[in-house]
Amino acid sequence: MDQVGPVLVDGVIYSAWLFIAAVGLTLVYGVMKILNVTHGSFYALGAYAGASLTGAWLARGYPPALSYAVLLGGALLVTLVFAPAIERGLLRFMYAKDEVVILLVTYALFLILEDTIKLIWGVNPYFVAEPYALLGSFEVGGLKYPTYNLILVGLALALAAGLAWVLHSTRVGKLLLAVIHDPEMSRALGVNVDRYYLVTFTLACFLAALGGSFTAPTVSVVPGLGVDVIVLSFAVVVIGGLGSLPGAALGAVIVGLVRSVSVHYMPQVELFVIYSVMALVLAFRPRGLFGLAEPRKI
Amino acid sequence: MKPDRTPALLGAILAAVVAGGLLLPQWTLFILTLACAQGLVVLGLVLLQRAGLVSFGQALFYCIGAYTAGGLSRAFGTGDLFVQMAAGAAAAALVAFVLGFLLARYRGIFFGLLSLALSMIFYGLIVKSEALGSTDGMNLVKTTLFGVRPDAAWVRYAMAVAAACVALGAAWLTHRYLRTPLGRLSPAIKDNEIRVEYMGASVRYAIHVNYVIAATLAGAGGALAATTVGHIDPEMAYWTTSGEFVFIAILSGTGSVIAPFLGALVFGAIHTVAYDVSPNTWQMSMGLALLAAIVFLPDGLWSLFAKRKTA
């Protein structure tokens, strides 16, 4: 049985989704050295905002073609409401603490945001299939795929290209690289490091929310949506190397293909295989496939 | 040197449980037993924390302990608390002994992430395995103590006392271990690993030993929790379970071997009260409590007592 075509298509679609969901995590770690557990909360927030706003938009009879803009707007809205408040109100007081302690702070925030979501949207599931159904489908190797998935792939490619361009070819990006390498020296040279932290954190959370809101039409949005995404994103960025953008892309492709192969041939080992890859990478290249060695400090 | 008051304190707590347990309502005894189970796991985490290591995958050993108890229960109909705990601890210790060769090389965030990955591998295995009940998990036979099933009115009390005996015994042994040269090495490793090596001690060996002890405690705790609740499922290996243990460890602090049990009890109390008051926002209450602990009690609940002593 020839499944290579479908395996590849599934793998690419899943990789694109993983990249969108996880790239913000590596960005925040790279710049701020924070393993941000709230990343999953923003994914869930984005999904809820996308689903509920799009639902309201369509219920009023506005043109469904614009619902993609509503998904985008929803992600932007929740991010602007929560992310700057979290960074300015809490995280910035924690930067002096140990990496692991900051991780626990974000874990506490994750617990708080889980219930905030329930308070805002209740516990009933949300469905909005329209943006998904609107585009029809295409066929590969006898299997039908919704065209909507191509939007995810396009979005992932655009994000990867956009981030690479900003980071390496703009003034802001080069200053950000300086902040990554040495925050104190950058500060001494007059770079507003606090602002870079705020913008990076907000941007990363926006990417997570975007991942959530564009996934919302393909699933039913229920409480606990972000919990799986957190640990999956951890796997992706750890495989590629924490803090590395090409690493996140590579990690997403590896996990995406591995999952797709296991789903098609041996569905019962899906999770086992994904985390085994993560453990193997940690065992042989602890800093990830693209991670750089860090000098040992005495 | 100050006299060692910990053994006397442990004895006093056991006496308090035995006597006070007669007066407490049944549901508090249940919480007390579960706190003993969680306290055992956290005691292990505290051992690692003293060496500067935080494991985000301790649920692996907790779950191994629980499923060992479940397996005994299903295969042989064994419901004996002590047999289950011993088997759970042994199984976890064995796995930790093997994994320790790898993990002892890791520090900081990488130690946490690798232990997380390992626990998620186990989760991925049992969640898809039909024989172990996949996502539904399985039920255990009724708990017995030395082969005897206590009278229904007394079973909670008997289990709480048995759990307290085991937990406090483990705390005492751990306390003894911490006073051995190997046990005293951990804070030194946290401070400066290279100096420890120059001193002639093996850091990897010390961490490996701590890791195996921590896993043994977690395995025993998992088996105790399994038989107390009477049901196990793969969620016990999920990262949120590990997160709860780290939460309790932060809440407790590394000041004493009693702290983890105090922390687990406070955790259980916050959990129960928050859930009772508002079922939809209990996680928020837990999150706020964790934040408060990190900000106001960086050395954990135990620092409240320790400070008073010196003042």
Nearest-CA distance from B20 to chain A in Å? 34
Q: Which CATH code of 1.10.3470, 2.60.290, 2.30.29, 1.10.287 fits the domain covering A4-284?
A: 1.10.3470
Q: Using CB atoms, pick whichever of A111, A118, A238 lies closest to residue B280.
A: A118
Supply the mean pLDDT for chain B: 86
**Residue B145 falls within a domain, yes or no?**
yes
Give contacts of B 54-73 with A, CB under 8 A.
Answer: 54
CA A58 distance to own-chain centroid: 26
pLDDT(B242) > 60: yes
Nearest-CA distance from A24 to chain B in Å? 18
Element (H, E) at B138: strand B138-139
Domain boundaries, chain A: 4-284
Structure tokens at A10: 């599934």
CB contact under 8 A, A272 and B124: yes
DSSP-based three-state secondary structure for B300: coil
* Contacts of residue A204, Cβ cutoff 8 Å, sequence gap at least 6: A24, A25, A27, A28, A36, A39
* Alpha-helix runs per DSSP H in chain B: 6-20, 26-50, 59-76, 81-103, 108-127, 155-178, 181-191, 193-198, 203-229, 239-252, 259-277, 282-296, 302-310
**Residue B293 falls within a domain, yes or no?**
no
* Contacts of residue B148, Cβ cutoff 8 Å, sequence gap at least 6: none
> So what's the ipTM on this one?
0.85
pLDDT(B116) > 70: yes
**Residue B244 falls within a domain, yes or no?**
no
**Residue B139 falls within a domain, yes or no?**
yes
Give me the torsion for CA of B116, B121, B127, B131, rounded to 10°: -140
Nearest-CA distance from A22 to chain B in Å? 16
CA A190 distance to own-chain centroid: 31
Nearest-CA distance from A166 to chain B in Å? 28
Q: What is the pLDDT of residue A141?
A: 67
pLDDT of B29-54, one tens digit each? 888 888 999 999 999 999 998 888 88
CB contact under 8 A, A104 and B247: yes
Q: How many domains does chain B have?
A: 1
Average pLDDT over residues B274-290: 84
pTM: 0.88
pLDDT(B295) > 50: yes
Cα A170 to Cα A211: distance, rounded to the nearest angstrom: 25
Q: Which of B196, B250, B284 to mutate to test the interface with A (most CBs of A within 10 A)?
A: B284
Q: What is the pLDDT of residue A292?
A: 60
Give contacts of A 258-297 with B, CB under 8 A.
Answer: 268-276, 278-279, 282-283, 286-287
The pLDDT tens digits along chain A (298 residues) read 567 778 888 889 889 999 998 999 999 988 888 889 999 999 999 999 988 898 888 888 888 778 888 888 989 999 999 989 999 988 888 888 888 888 889 999 999 998 899 888 888 888 877 777 777 777 776 777 788 888 889 999 999 999 999 988 999 888 888 888 888 888 899 888 888 899 999 999 999 999 999 888 888 888 888 888 888 898 898 888 888 888 889 999 999 999 888 888 887 788 888 889 888 888 888 777 776 655 444 4
- Measuring CA to CA, how many Å separate A117 from each of A41, A42, A232, B111, B290? 9, 10, 21, 31, 19
Cα B260 to Cα B302: distance, rounded to the nearest angstrom: 9
Average pLDDT over residues B63-76: 89
**Residue B185 falls within a domain, yes or no?**
yes
pLDDT of A219-253, one tens digit each? 888 888 888 888 889 889 888 888 888 888 999 99
Find the length of chain B: 311
Host domain of residue B183: 6-237
How many beta-carbon pairs under 8 angstroms link A with B?
112
Give contacts of A 7-26 with B, CB under 8 A.
Answer: none
Cα A59 to Cα B210: distance, rounded to the nearest angstrom: 59
Q: Which three-class secondary structure string do you get for B196-226? A: HHHCCCCHHHHHHHHHHHHHHHHHHHHHHHH
Of B142 and A298, which is predicted with more confidence?
B142
In chain A, the percentage of residues whose pLDDT exceeds 90 is 24
**Residue B160 falls within a domain, yes or no?**
yes
Q: What is the pLDDT of residue A69?
A: 86
CB contact under 8 A, B121 and A269: no
Residue type for position A91: L
**Residue B168 falls within a domain, yes or no?**
yes
